[in-house]
Structure 1
């Protein structure tokens, strides 16, 4: 199990519980929270312990000359100019004229945002927008001041928003490579390609330590263990920004962002933007090590996290943002929010949130048109004293400090910087060569019966599976589009699919190669390489509720078994953003490679799996698991150093050529279920349960709910008292147009557990006025033609007026219509064209009640 390099040894290092070895920090645990405390109150009751946190030795010291410039500038700035520095809108929501008028301190392009709203915008288009925004920020005729703006972008595996850029493996694969020097090189290349397009600032590295593999952002983490994360964070910051004592923020370097502060990888049940219940010592030992590495390397910005810690949203946590990060750890750069993260703080909205500024946030990331009222409300809150002017001055000082350190006041404009416009650097051959090396080093060999691998290229080889010739699928989320979907190979000029890499090598060696995605070959091959795996996804969309691969639709397993039944040896190349339970697929494979999400240079896989034409190994496997591989579908939180640690394959595992195989061919294929699999899913009880939110639709209008009475077109919703105050809702339909009240989420949820456990949707209903037209119960998922409904008119008609009764609907009534329960974004909706009044309470999905529901489809 020894890794053949002088890097970290994955098997022998043990970090958790040993922070005193790393830093001078006390190991005194925080005071215990009372057991009967609710998560919402734990944050205020927890006795914080600042002694846990270190004083970091930061490599970039305050420069007296810069500090004097900051003081002088602050003294001349108006409140409006200061607040504008703290507002970061998105390119889809502002114009050049807006920049000229307000002088925003920064702006961003979110996932799927492009200059001119054109996915195929050229690098020249990106440069033009950067130049135009910069010039507008420096024009002082309207806002009265000339401070250069900054453009921030999510370049998380290369400059991944730009067509033709080099795309590296996602972080989970780089974690398996365990090569900090390579990571610094990757980051430097990314910085160069970003600077070519005139952009100043990158929202990377992500330093989440992933503890539950159901999390849809697992692939953004390098490891389940903090050791690699700490080392990589330092390496990437150096690669992006340059070394603090050498080429710091030079002409081909960008400002880095260590994110997301803090604990995003440790939320309960892997719920994106959920609640982390780690102790304060665990928060430091496990989740903060990336900040120790990144800040000690000189990172100039930190992004706040969507998640909560013990029920308190991090965007509103003064303890974490100010007391820990800024005061104790000594961070003197700025803290930027995540996408409207401030609006999730209780009492806040996207356009009004003094709490987050007072907690220590320096820059609002405020996409959509909420930026203007947020700007105005923040000014008003300072004028009223709700936000102290000292807090504003501190935030603006931090922003100016970073801009001065980055030389933005002195550098030429974006179009005139030394590497700007050097389009030959976007996707340059030497950059792709490094990405190809990263692909090779990230591969982990899990199984190799009878030393099937490496394959000789001078034989008949079949490439099958829907990821074999699909650069978009092999690259995953955050690839041109936010979710990585909707792309074709034509969107990756210069990139190489896995099949293309094999084709080049096999053809050169005189072998025969055939591509048959569905396995229906024309000529029987000597061996089949089947490339399959997860569809691309990004945050929220990727959350699942267990780790079974292709749960309910085992089409890839069927392909493997078909080829095996034809007497063809099968090599599986598994594309995924996390380890998954694939026992059946492992059993059906003679060799199995975890390829993660390799990016645009698919030929790196052929480099390892194929010998040269003489039969000599070109590159051996060096990748080792930085995530433990699960033994069952429910073993979702198996992490090194856990009590009773018992994965299928341990952290640090990875075969090399010649190693004895360890996996048997008859792994248990029994699908495990969680011990609480028969527990109801509560959607509404007293109020809607996260992540669901009540939404009203009338005709083509829709709105959320922010008060006890909301009216929209043909519909009115108001709170009512059933058993306790406001524990139910009354809907009044006027009958003037189609209308609906629903529970919706911005992200999809995997609810397959409830169809598998014969569940029913149940709710308490009180009819107060008969309906004039049919009434429907609806569920939606996020796919095309995935809005399904069940007619509940006859049941409602039979209910006694003004009496609470239970309505239950078999979930089979939706699944048999084709609703994909793996991707539900609306599990409940009441809709009608007519008039009527009905109240509802206590909406749940209840296992083992489908067959006995009032409405069944059996």
Structure 2
């Protein structure tokens, strides 16, 4: 049977068995789900009108533009391409309505390029899109960017604490200030639109985007939403709305991304409609009421149906019931996850209420297919005109038609405004207010700046670590101190104040010293991550680096202050026990001096600033307490929502249990990676090609550049395997946080893979175990796969020591299985695990 037959057979079985967990949809976006399926009832959602009355002259202008636009121009308006995959000439040729810079895209492909390169490229896109030669309408293109904690793609910009820290500050006025500063610094680089604020309400802290949320409490998110929107866009009430000091904001992600099962990124939310409305949707009515002009559809599903294709929510609730009068933009190829869709074709998403496709690398094929669907009637002209009208309305409100060349606008090129002193002071204040004091035995804090202070840990002088993900790149990795010319590390902030007061501050990442210090500050925590690459199986921090330092100082009688950098609350009881004072510093951004402001006294002994931060997320009692939220039945965290000490408080703690109580959560992390076709938490299954990474979260998926197609098929049970069809250079990998399997490797254990190879040929294939950047042990398995082509299911065992002998550091394995294919090939995987060597394992497949 050919591969095509395998795929078709699998899909037929899925339909017959009714295994599609999503509601059935047709190409109009009409809900065909059964009466027993979860239903959306728009009438129970908040009813409100748009705060922006339609302007007659604007509406006439919109109608006139639509009447003179060709169908090709209209289709172009509803497509957004990434600057890494589109040229200004193509924006002109295809009449594209928008471009974006994804987390790993920048002018010239350089994530650390200079700000003037952004302005120059903005000019090129502007000139291309407004070209009216050859009868073109010349609609200016919008440029959108993920400015989620300041203008975080720009070297030298002000970087604020990530949202989780701002939630701990619980200061809505501060959010307005941050929004205003962020807008101004974006305008310096000639851009028009930010994909912020994120108003998700996270309910399971295993989610890799927890730090993008302000709180588990919808009340904080609801309160913040309006202040942030007004800071970015200006106020409707004082004529600053979308003036030349402001730009377009986006409320995201609509809806339910913070409430998925197990906190899995892009997963399924099975909450009730009431919970979806009151918890996950708390911020949207406020954001709409304050005039937010864009809403981004979410990757997640609600009861199995992807939001990008959920008309009842995107249109009936958001627009008709809640009065949203901007436009809905998709997320990164999110339309391709809708049932029956691909990245290159998805009429149902458009017909369901997605007004603008975010098609970073798939835009050209999507343009062609959408045009064909309009011409065939699959997408009606009325629906196309509706979406185009919504986009034009926002562009007119934003003054885009009259703004002129980006480099000639009010703030463009004023690079002195990037990290201007007044901007940095706001960021520093935000850091001070975000810090939460969890322990302060014998009131060790605040410290005297005249003391001899040792500052240790890998986060002490590491601005890249303290700024986290979404910093200069998507994952925020590889950023060095030199990439933050206006930034201050935590050590630098401490040293400046201590030196000024006559004390001594010494940096020693490893904790070594010559003169015994009076006190040691240990800065440690999570390394940067973003989105699904930060998903976890449990809340146990596990890294021993910071703990080892704290215990060493404790054994030497040196008082210790722990400064914990993290994107979520985590189980760190051993670290808390080993420290005299413990500070949750979250991801504070570029102003590390804000931490010194609170930890240190003034030179005369007075307190500079007391702790103000209070937990906006409950702190887990054990590593298995993953979904713990204020108001829950049997609510029993270690530190409750709202907890946070001040200096006058008794900060002593009894010794905490050091049993993480992981139970089954601890099983399988080090020895099971793929089971019945599904990655075993916390591991992720991902595809990588020239377009980037794509996490697999559904029964069908396509890699970013379309090189690999994945389909869930039956092996021993329903959809218990994954078929990967390669058409070129790409890889499939199991990925996660580093683990130590050196014991297993030394013990002659083996990597067991259950698979079959299908089709007409086998391409060059390399199997490897990876251990970080530039670290792996690989073996060419092309010949072995060729021998097994169309020979049915196979179980192969490869000695772990073979990978170690080829260069893998088995103490820090972050990808226990990576399959790199160069060409056309089809392989079906069912399970991957570490097993005992029964004498049949070797160094060949």
| TM tier, smaller | 0.7 to 0.9
For structure 1, which runs of at least 5 residues remain unmatched after alignment?
1-35, 709-714, 734-738
Change (3 A) 1:282 1:420: same
Equivalent residue, structure 2, for 1:744: 733
Q: Please give the alpha-carbon distance, in whole angstroms, between the structure 2 residues aligned to 1:641 and 1:767.
A: 51
1:810: Cα distance to partner?
Answer: 7.2
Equivalent residue, structure 2, for 1:169: 161
For each residue in 1:725-769, what CA deviation from the matched residue of structure 2 results, as whole angstroms up to 9, or x when unmatched?
A: 998799999xxxxx9997436xx3359599999997555567999
Equivalent residue, structure 1, for 2:295: 302
Q: Is the 8 A contact 1:728 1:839 kept in 2?
A: no
For each residue in 1:669-717, what CA deviation from the matched residue of structure 2 results, as whole angstroms up to 9, or x when unmatched?
A: 44522369469968374899996468999xxxx9x99999xxxxxx999
1:647: Cα distance to partner?
Answer: 0.9
Equivalent residue, structure 1, for 2:658: 668
1:146: Cα distance to partner?
Answer: 1.8
1:324: Cα distance to partner?
Answer: 1.3
Change (3 A) 1:292 1:830: closer
Which shifted more, 411-420 or 297-306? 411-420
Q: Is the 8 A contact 1:810 1:853 kept in 2?
A: no
Change (3 A) 1:267 1:143: farther
Change (3 A) 1:840 1:433: closer
Which shifted more, 94-103 or 688-697? 688-697
Which shifted more, 335-344 or 606-615? 335-344
Equivalent residue, structure 2, for 1:249: 242
Change (3 A) 1:839 1:651: closer
Query: Alignment partner for residue 433 of structure 1, among 425, 438, 449?
Result: 425
Change (3 A) 1:302 1:497: same
Equivalent residue, structure 2, for 1:40: 21
1:431-830 matches, within 5 Å, as 431-549=423-541, 551=542, 553-661=543-651, 663-674=653-664, 677=667, 683=674, 685=676, 692=685, 743-744=732-733, 748-750=735-737, 762-764=752-754, 778-780=768-770, 783-788=773-778, 806-807=795-796, 818=808, 824=814, 827=817, 829=819
Which shifted more, 420-429 or 660-669? 660-669
Query: Alignment partner for residue 132 of structure 2, among 110, 135, 140?
Result: 140
Change (3 A) 1:402 1:518: same
Query: Alignment partner for residue 107 of structure 2, among 99, 110, 115?
Result: 115
Equivalent residue, structure 2, for 1:329: 322
Q: Please give the alpha-carbon distance, in whole angstroms, between the structure 2 residues aligned to 1:146 and 1:556.
A: 57
1:109: Cα distance to partner?
Answer: 1.0
Change (3 A) 1:68 1:203: same
Q: Please give the alpha-carbon distance, in whole angstroms, between the structure 1 residues aligned to 2:63 and 2:709.
A: 54
Equivalent residue, structure 2, for 1:420: 412
Equivalent residue, structure 2, for 1:320: 313
Q: Is the 8 A contact 1:779 1:829 kept in 2?
A: no
Partner-residue secondary structure (3-state), 1:654: coil
Change (3 A) 1:531 1:217: same
Equivalent residue, structure 2, for 1:372: 364
Mapped pair 1:53 → 2:34: no
Change (3 A) 1:616 1:51: same
Partner-residue secondary structure (3-state), 2:401: coil
Change (3 A) 1:57 1:724: closer
Task: Please give the TM-score of this superposition, normalised by the length of structure 1.
Answer: 0.84
Task: Please give the TM-score of this superposition, normalised by the length of structure 2.
Answer: 0.85
Q: Please give the alpha-carbon distance, in whole angstroms, between the structure 1 residues aligned to 2:145 and 2:566.
A: 24
Q: Please give the alpha-carbon distance, in whole angstroms, between the structure 2 residues aligned to 1:843 and 1:561.
A: 40
1:409: Cα distance to partner?
Answer: 1.6
For each residue in 1:757-786, what CA deviation from the matched residue of structure 2 results, as whole angstroms up to 9, or x when unmatched?
A: 9997555567999x9999986444653222
Change (3 A) 1:610 1:793: same
Q: Please give the alpha-carbon distance, in whole angstroms, between the structure 2 residues aligned to 1:438 and 1:731.
A: 47
Which shifted more, 52-61 or 570-579? 52-61
Equivalent residue, structure 2, for 1:843: 831
1:132: Cα distance to partner?
Answer: 2.1
Q: Please give the alpha-carbon distance, in whole angstroms, between the structure 2 residues aligned to 1:719 and 1:504.
A: 57
Q: Please give the alpha-carbon distance, in whole angstroms, between the structure 1 residues aligned to 2:427 and 2:111.
A: 23
1:142-291 matches, within 5 Å, as 142=134, 144-246=136-238, 247-291=240-284
Partner-residue secondary structure (3-state), 1:531: strand
For each residue in 1:301-353, what CA deviation from the matched residue of structure 2 results, as whole angstroms up to 9, or x when unmatched?
A: 00111111111111111121111111211211101111111122232222221
For structure 2, which runs of at least 5 residues remain unmatched after alignment?
1-16, 25-32, 702-707
Q: Please give the alpha-carbon distance, in whole angstroms, between the structure 1 residues aligned to 2:301 and 2:486.
A: 41
Q: Please give the alpha-carbon distance, in whole angstroms, between the structure 2 residues aligned to 1:695 and 1:121.
A: 25
1:245: Cα distance to partner?
Answer: 2.0
For each residue in 1:68-124, what CA deviation from the matched residue of structure 2 results, as whole angstroms up to 9, or x when unmatched?
A: 211121111110111111111111222222223233211111113222223343322
Change (3 A) 1:356 1:142: farther
